[in-house]
């Protein structure tokens, strides 16, 4: 073999070697592309199945407070179904809204936070059961009125008469200021502090509160405090979402003297539990804050169903799996009520 022949053969070997390497590289690339394509196909298929399934799932959860966010949890492999961890978020303003907000001489009503949420309607024009309303312009929250109607109808039915009516409902801050000034002028400041909320600190600002009275057929009024209606309502208000807010044995806590006539809507099943356990709103909110959490909720059953209730001071929580309601406490946290 000549030197030239040796060189030619060596060059041909190198060419064959390069060609072999090129083919291997193409083969490996094609295989990788195929694997990626299959994984993508599986992943997209799963996403589409998940998307179509969501449309017929029942809408879980409802709340006037907070917003729902979807945060995809960390994924370790492409082929596993994506786990979506839903959360709900609240703002500091939300703390001052909801059925369970505490209004007393320390915690005033936040008018700005509740703007647009009160949904006030005229009682006489919207009542579903006919009862007397002392003044034709009295208004109450549209969400609360049906429960008041039901409570008054049940009371009248139990009494065998139609004498239960309304002597006060929603009050603007101007109305409360006039009432305060008039009461101070007529009875003095000491008396006024016992019975009238300081303007801005009255539950009547919420639209969830009313005063109940006795109205006779001739238009005159009787004493609700001394009536059997008052006894019935004190014992049964919880079944309609209401509490008697200022009881005789709680004046040291509420700061307001015994008022047989003043009822506040706090919702289900809170009212039934508070009446049964003889807790005023201050005590109930204290209890929830000190004794409950998402991991250790309070279980309560009333005539409307079974619920789990817990307090949180967090601004973002895991979205409850069932229907839920959120209320601020008007202090620093939230009460979550989950339907079981
Ligand atoms: Zn009142």
φ, ψ at 248 (rounded to 5°): -60, -40
So what's the pLDDT on residue 43? 55
Q: Is residue 3 part of a domain?
A: yes
Q: Residue 210: what pLDDT?
A: 97
Considering the domain architecture, whether residues 43 and 175 belong to the same structural domain is answered as no
Q: What is the pLDDT of residue 69?
A: 73
Q: What is the mean pLDDT of residues 265-270?
A: 98
Q: Indicate if the pLDDT at residue 52 is higher than 60.
A: no
pLDDT-derived band at 68, boundaries 50, 70, 90? confident
Q: Confirm whether 43 is domain-assigned.
A: yes
* Full residue range of the structural domain in which residue 103 is found: 93-339
Q: Give ion ligand 1 contacts, CB < 5 A.
A: 211, 262
Buried b / exposed e over 291-327, threshold 16 CB at 10 Å, is: ebeeeebbebebeeeebbbbbbeeeebebbeebbbbb
Among residues 260, 241, 238, which one has the least CA distance to residue 249?
A: 260
Tell how far CA 21 is from the center of its chain: 67
**Residue 277 above 70 pLDDT?**
yes
Same domain, 126 and 6: no
- Cross-strand partners of 209: 264
Residues 224 and 319 in one domain: yes
CA angle 169, 102, 68 (to 5 degrees): 105
State the distance from the centre of ligand 1 to the C-alpha of 261, rounded, in angstroms: 7
Q: What pLDDT was estimated at residue 205?
A: 97
Same domain flag for 109 and 257? yes
Task: Report pLDDT for 316.
Answer: 96
pLDDT at 62: 45
pLDDT of residue 328: 98
Same domain for 102 and 34:
no
Residue 152 pLDDT: 98
Give domain status of residue 83, yes or no: no
pLDDT of residue 219: 83
Average pLDDT on 144-162 reads 98
103-126 as b/e, with b when 16 or more CB fall inside 10 Å?
bbeeebbbeebbeeebeebebeee
Domain end: 30, 57, 84, which one?
57
Mean pLDDT of the chain: 87
Residue 272: partners with Cβ closer than 8 Å, 6 or more residues away: 238, 239, 300, 302, 303
Same domain, 170 and 317: yes
Per-residue pLDDT for 287 more than 60?
A: yes
pLDDT confidence bin for 11, thresholds 50/70/90: low
CATH number of the domain at 189, please. 3.30.1380.10
pLDDT digits (tens, 9 = 90+) for 208-258: 999 999 999 888 999 999 999 999 999 999 999 999 999 999 999 999 999
CA 210–ligand 1 middle distance (angstroms):
6
Partners of residue 82 on adjacent β-strands: none
Question: What does the pLDDT read at residue 61?
Answer: 42
Our count of domains for the chain comes to 2
| Percentage of the residues of the chain whose pLDDT score is greater than 90 | 72
User: What pLDDT, on a 0 to 100 scale, did the predictor assign at position 85?
Assistant: 82
Q: Is the pLDDT of residue 335 over 50?
A: yes
Positions marked catalytic:
259
- Per-residue pLDDT for 5 more than 90? no
Do residue 206 and residue 316 come from a single domain?
Answer: yes
| Structural domain includes residue 253 | yes
The reply to whether 52 falls in a domain is yes
Q: Could you tell me if 257 and 183 are in contact, meaning their C-beta atoms sit under 8 angstroms apart?
A: no
Query: What is the CA(318)–ligand 1 centre distance, in A?
Result: 37
Predicted local confidence at residue 34, as pLDDT: 45
pLDDT by residue (tens digit) across 83-136?
Answer: 778 999 999 999 999 999 999 999 999 999 999 999 999 999 999 999 999 999
The pLDDT of residue 81: 67
For the chain, what percent of residues have pLDDT higher than 70? 77
Residue 102 alpha carbon to ligand 1 centre in Å: 15
Those residues with Cβ within 8 angstroms of residue 130's Cβ, 6 or more apart along the chain or in another chain:
162
Please say if the pLDDT value at position 65 is more than 80. no
Say whether both 187 and 313 belong to one domain: yes
Distance 304 CA to ligand 1 centre (A): 26
- Within a domain: residue 77? no
Q: 167 and 287: one domain? A: yes
Q: How many residues does the chain have?
A: 340
Q: Is residue 32 very low, low, confident or very high in pLDDT (cuts 50, 70, 90)?
A: low
The pLDDT value given to residue 83: 72
Please tell me the least confidently modeled range out of 50-64, 239-253, 299-313: 50-64
For residues 296 and 237, state if they share a domain. yes
Is 269 found in the same domain as 208? yes
The arrangement of strands across the sheet holding 324-328 comes to: 298-302, 305-312, 334-339, 324-328
CA of 309 to the centre of ligand 1 (A): 27
| 62 within some domain | no
In a domain, 69, yes or no: no
Higher pLDDT, 319 or 24: 319
Angle CA 209–322–327, to nearest 5 = 30
Query: 202: CA distance to ligand 1 center in Å?
Result: 8
Residues 50 and 184 in one domain: no
Rounded mean pLDDT, 46-54? 42
Distance 246 CA to ligand 1 centre (A): 9
Ligand 1 centre distance from Cα of residue 159 (Å): 23
């Amino acid at each position: 073999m000549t030197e030239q022949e040796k060189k030619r053969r060596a060059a041909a070997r190198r060419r064959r070697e390069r060609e072999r390497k090129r083919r291997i590289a193409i083969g490996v690339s094609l295989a990788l592309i195929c694997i990626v394509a299959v994984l993508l196909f599986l992943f997209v298929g799963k996403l589409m199945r998940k998307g179509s399934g969501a449309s017929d799932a029942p809408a879980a959860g409802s709340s006037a407070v907070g917003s729902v966010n979807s945060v995809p949890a960390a994924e370790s492999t492409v082929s596993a179904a994506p786990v979506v961890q839903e959360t709900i978020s609240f703002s500091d303003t939300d703390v001052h809204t909801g059925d369970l907000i505490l209004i007393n001489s320390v915690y005033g009503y936040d008018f700005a936070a509740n703007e647009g949420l009160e949904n006030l309607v005229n009682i006489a024009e919207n009542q579903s059961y006919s009862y007397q309303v002392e003044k034709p312009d009295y208004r109450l929250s549209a969400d609360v009125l049906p429960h008041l109607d039901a409570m008054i109808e049940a009371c009248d039915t139990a009494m065998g008469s139609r004498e239960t009516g309304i002597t006060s409902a929603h009050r603007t801050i101007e109305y409360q200021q006039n009432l305060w000034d008039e009461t101070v002028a007529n009875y003095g400041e000491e008396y006024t502090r016992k019975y009238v909320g300081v303007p801005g600190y009255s539950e009547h600002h919420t639209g969830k509160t009313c005063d109940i009275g006795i109205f006779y057929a001739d238009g005159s009024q009787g004493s609700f405090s001394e009536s059997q209606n008052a006894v019935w309502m004190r014992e049964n208000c919880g079944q309609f979402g209401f509490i008697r807010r200022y009881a005789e044995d709680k004046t040291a806590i509420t700061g307001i003297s015994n008022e047989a006539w003043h009822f506040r809507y706090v919702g289900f099943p809170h009212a039934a539990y508070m009446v049964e356990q003889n807790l005023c709103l201050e005590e109930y909110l204290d209890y929830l804050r000190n004794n409950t959490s998402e991991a250790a909720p309070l279980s309560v059953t009333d005539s409307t169903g079974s619920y789990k209730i817990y307090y949180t001071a967090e601004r973002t929580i895991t979205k409850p799996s069932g229907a839920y309601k959120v209320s601020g406490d008007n202090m620093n946290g939230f009460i979550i009520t989950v339907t079981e």
